[in-house]
Amino acid sequence: MAPAALQPFLSLLNNKPVKLLIAGGILIVSTEIAYELVLWWRKATKPKPKSCEVFFINRRKLVEPLPTPQDFLYEHINRIISYIDRAEKSICLAMYIFTMREICEAVIRAKRERSVVVRVVTCESMVANEGSFLRDLIAEDIKVQYKYKSEYLMHHKFCLLDTDWYCANCLIAYHTAEYGEPTKNMQHTLFDKAVMSDRAALLQRFGSSCVRCNPAERNKQDKRQRKQSNNPLPKHGLILAGSSNWTFPGLTTHWDTITVASLPELIDPFAAEFQRMWYELNDPLGLTHTREPLYKRRCGADF
Ligand SMILES: [Zn+2]
């Protein structure tokens, strides 16, 4: 026999509508639990993206189903495009030769459709290259910089996607920690000279606050980015770097390599170096410096 105090409660449980209400409640809760379990299972079983991968341009993995000959040929090009298409914040490109139309279109798409900040550094020796797509980027109001009459090639081939942009203070702190405080007896680049005696110029160029020294700003930015994209790039961004110029043979047949990595210890040096170049190779490239590309004259020809 149940104690007398429980009798009203038990008789309430015997009431049919109450029974139905309880059964409905249990059903809703168990459905919710099952749904959460499925989500957790999916997440747990989903293979984690690698933090670093190396691709050799003239080496392809055999996969099933076999790709079409076009997909097979464009494997590395399509991979680069798929990463660029996921960028939501920034693209920093240092590229010696850039003649791939499809990649240029992806960069323009990022700027036009997702307001991604695009910065390009190139080499003066490539400015007059008639296969270059730099003209198309400049026509889109994308900032392309180089050094006029430089003795040295800007020979890099790397691209940073959604990585942090250092403020002047963080940039100086990074370079000083890695390379030492510049002193009067050293040979200096323009950047070192500014660190030594014209920090105001660096502050003017890069500001005094960034997500590195102001973590609250990073959280805000991350939230915004994750809301916008259902497939965001890794938290610290991505680097694509290697020996390949962004040309058709450079990305399809040459003995070349591309490394794709989300490792902060690999990204940070490239990000800081890109900004050093942004400071030093600071002549803006305009349409008047570049030639009408050959592809526009040769109607449809691909480079
Ligand atoms: Zn900072």
Q: Where are the domains of the chain?
A: 52-164+236-289
User: How far, in Å, is the centroid of ligand 1 from the Cα of 118?
Assistant: 20
Average pLDDT over residues 129-150: 90
Predicted confidence at residue 194, as pLDDT, reads 94
Compute CA distances 70 → 73, 130, 246, 255, 302, whole Å.
Answer: 5, 25, 18, 20, 14
User: How far, in Å, is the centroid of ligand 1 from the Cα of 207?
Assistant: 8
Looking at per-residue pLDDT, the higher value among 112 and 292 belongs to 112
User: How far, in Å, is the centroid of ligand 1 from the Cα of 215?
Assistant: 9
Instruction: Give per-residue pLDDT as tens, 170-224.
Output: 999 999 999 999 888 777 789 999 999 999 999 999 999 999 999 888 777 777 6
User: Residue 238 above 60 pLDDT?
Assistant: yes
Asked which of 23-37, 82-96, 185-199, 281-295 is least confident by mean pLDDT, the reply is 281-295
> Residues of the chain with pLDDT > 70: what percent?
90
Compute CA distances 291 → 100, 149, 167, 246, 300, whole Å.
Answer: 16, 17, 35, 19, 17
User: How far, in Å, is the centroid of ligand 1 from the Cα of 219?
Assistant: 15
User: How far, in Å, is the centroid of ligand 1 from the Cα of 170?
Assistant: 4
Q: What angle do CA 91, 144, 225 make, to 5 degrees?
A: 20
User: How far, in Å, is the centroid of ligand 1 from the Cα of 76?
Assistant: 34
User: How far, in Å, is the centroid of ligand 1 from the Cα of 214?
Assistant: 7
Cα distance between residue 162 and residue 114, in whole Å: 12
User: How far, in Å, is the centroid of ligand 1 from the Cα of 197?
Assistant: 20
User: How far, in Å, is the centroid of ligand 1 from the Cα of 206?
Assistant: 9
Three-state DSSP state, 6: helix
User: How far, in Å, is the centroid of ligand 1 from the Cα of 289?
Assistant: 34
Average pLDDT over residues 25-42: 86
User: Residue 301 above 70 pLDDT?
Assistant: no
Report which residue type is found at 43: K
pLDDT band at 268 (very low <50, low <70, confident <90, very high): very high
Looking at per-residue pLDDT, the higher value among 144 and 292 belongs to 144
User: Residue 255 above 60 pLDDT?
Assistant: yes
Cα distance between residue 174 and residue 166, in whole Å: 9
Four-CA torsion 189, 204, 140, 256, nearest 10 degrees: 30
pLDDT band at 300 (very low <50, low <70, confident <90, very high): very low
Asked which of 119-128, 248-257, 281-290 is least confident by mean pLDDT, the reply is 281-290
Average pLDDT over residues 89-105: 96
C-beta of residue 90 within 8 angstroms of C-beta of residue 160: yes
Q: Where are the beta strands (DSSP E) in 225-290?
A: 238-242, 257-261, 283-284
Place of tokens 């459905």: 31
Cα distance between residue 106 and residue 251, in whole Å: 16
Looking at per-residue pLDDT, the higher value among 205 and 43 belongs to 205
Q: Which superfamily is assigned to 52-164+236-289 in CATH?
A: Endonuclease Chain A (3.30.870.10)
User: How far, in Å, is the centroid of ligand 1 from the Cα of 90?
Assistant: 17
Q: CA 233 from chain center: how many Å?
A: 7
- Its pTM stands at 0.80
Cα distance between residue 135 and residue 217, in whole Å: 34
Report which residue type is found at 194: A
Q: Report DSSP letters for 190-238, one per residue.
A: HHHHHHHH-HHHHHHHH-S--TTT-HHHHHHHHHHHHHH-SSPPPTT-E
Count CB-CB contacts under 10 A for residue 86. Answer: 18
User: How far, in Å, is the centroid of ligand 1 from the Cα of 209?
Assistant: 4
Predicted confidence at residue 19, as pLDDT, reads 82
User: How far, in Å, is the centroid of ligand 1 from the Cα of 302?
Assistant: 43
- Which residue(s) pair with 260 in the sheet? 53, 240
User: How far, in Å, is the centroid of ligand 1 from the Cα of 183?
Assistant: 23
User: How far, in Å, is the centroid of ligand 1 from the Cα of 133?
Assistant: 33
User: How far, in Å, is the centroid of ligand 1 from the Cα of 87?
Assistant: 22
User: How far, in Å, is the centroid of ligand 1 from the Cα of 175?
Assistant: 13
User: Residue 298 above 70 pLDDT?
Assistant: no
User: How far, in Å, is the centroid of ligand 1 from the Cα of 161?
Assistant: 19
Predicted confidence at residue 14, as pLDDT, reads 74
User: How far, in Å, is the centroid of ligand 1 from the Cα of 235?
Assistant: 17
C-beta of residue 260 within 8 angstroms of C-beta of residue 238: yes
User: How far, in Å, is the centroid of ligand 1 from the Cα of 272?
Assistant: 12
